[in-house]
Chain A
Amino acid sequence: MSLEKAITVEINGVARELSAPANETLLDCLRRHGQFEVKSGCEKGDCGACAVQIDGEAVDSCLTLAWMVEGKKVTTLEGLNDADSPHPLIAAFLEHGAVQCGYCTPGIMIAAEAMLRDIPDPTDDDIALALSGNLCRCTGYTKIFTAIKQAAEVLRAGGGDD
């Protein structure tokens, strides 16, 4: 067994200390520590189900080693669901029925949220580009695009803030 190391990381705003061996992916480590909203779909960066943000950038947690997030901020879907001000993406996905089996949803929200910070008024092409690493097999992406555009509108109007 590889040597375990304690890493200090902020997960969804909470300081945590996680113990992990060198060869553990961030995906496995987060799930082992109860972050089950991070999903495992392919473990090789093809599907995006495991997407999380590290310091605001969306990455595949299956292609990230746990040790790499030492001292960083990790955001999962749980982090977008702040009890006081849930992210407008969540309400928009619910309103437009953009969730079916739901397994790709956490990764898609993470990818979409990262895009919306870069591009507040995304075109369909912008959304397509931002989600091309998030496979969804249940929807045809149409409702997901609609929901993301609505969330963008809410955010531009200043919604979603405290």
Chain B
Amino acid sequence: MLREFELDMPGNLQETLARLPGGTLLAGGTNLLVDLRARREDAERLIWLGNIDGFRDIKIEDGRVIIGGGTTIGDLLRNPAMAEAAPSLVAAARVFGGQMVRNQATVAGNVCSGSPAADTVPPLLSLDAEVHLTCSTGSRTVPLNDFYTGFKTNQRKHDELVTGLSWAAPGPHTANLFYKLARRKGDAITVVGVAVTVTRDGDRCTEARIALGAVGPTVFRAKDAEAMLTGEPLADDLIDSAARKAMEESSPIDDLRASADYRRHCIHVLTRRLLKQAWEDAA
């Protein structure tokens, strides 16, 4: 049995916002209900977000993708526009849980869980996504890059709701890739996740983003490595040096799934591969 709690089921956004203080948000429930059962979580009042109209909508306006706070991982896979508007995120969605969990888990919930192994976060960081937060008195937007404050902590205030995420769809000559390394191909916790975006202008890289998952207290961007690439032609040895730099920027730990040493090794390998692939794809 799950421990006892109150279940608040507001019918719209305004009601939801009004009830936020003191409550714990229940979106897909794929983390929260598991934590409640395992007694890692002791929320007394849950606020279910499933009755907010249009909360799962996905829109593309003027080249900018906006997904609602209730958009599920499955919604990403079912939306045919996403393959171009968020290639890395679609790649992550394909290796995210199983079909049922994908239909329940929300992107915003995955982002807010703050787990360094959260699969949607490296892609969203590589897309330079923004987090849209709303409370009963107003709204604000925080770059995802600034959202995390530490292991499983973030900038969302207790009276705020993530109402959506947005990012610019990759333009021409931009490649956006993700790879998840895990102990099993289907439905497994990430050992190392790498997402990269490379924008190319002729034989130069005009912008590069490298986001790394499960190798630090939060998912993060390897900015020193990115800086090595910007403005340069991505020759194999530069790619390799940048991949090494990304490895040096990480701070993985040993756990049941892998050692820190192996994780570092894989960051180097995967970052190198993805950058090389992205550089070719962006041509």
> What residues of chain A have their CB less than 8 Å away from a CB belonging to chain B?
1-2, 21-25, 28, 43-46, 48, 51, 57-60, 62-65, 67-68, 70, 111, 114-115, 118, 128-134
Contacts and interface: CB of A to CB of B under 8 A. Distances in A.
B187 A63 contact: no
A130 B78 CA distance: 12
Interface in B6-20: 6-7, 9
A59 B100 contact: yes
A31 to B, nearest CB: 13
A140 to B, nearest CB: 14
A133 B100 contact: yes
Given A23-B3, A63-B33, A68-B48, A48 B100 contact: yes
B241 interface: no
A132 B187 contact: yes
Given A2-B4, A22-B5, 18 more contacts: A1-B4, A24-B1, A25-B2, A25-B33, A44-B33, A44-B34, A45-B30, A45-B104, A58-B103, A63-B29, A63-B30, A67-B48, A68-B9, A70-B9, A111-B100, A129-B94, A129-B99, A133-B186
B231 interface: no
A45 B37 contact: no
A48 B99 CA distance: 9
A134 B98 CA distance: 7
Contact of B101 (A21, A25, A60): A60
Interface residues of B, number: 32
A128 B187 CA distance: 11
B33 to A, nearest CB: 5
Contacts of B28: 63
Interface in B80-132: 94, 97-104
Contacts of A44: 33-34, 37-38
Contacts of B26: 65
A64 B29 CA distance: 7
Counting chain A CB atoms within 10 Å of each CB, which of B28, B29, B33, B99 scores highest? B99
Q: Which of B9, B94, B97, B98 has the most CB of A within 10 A?
A: B98
Contacts of A60: 30, 100-101, 104
B100 to A, nearest CB: 4
A20 to B, nearest CB: 10
A102 B27 CA distance: 32
A57 B74 contact: yes
Contacts of A63: 28-30, 33-34, 100-101, 104
A128 B101 CA distance: 15
Nearest to A70: B9
Contacts of B74: 57
Contact of A22 (B6, B100, B102): B6
Contacts of A21: 4
Contacts of B185: 132
Contact of B4 (A23, A28, A111): A23
Contacts of A67: 7, 9, 48
A46 to B, nearest CB: 7
A133 B9 contact: no
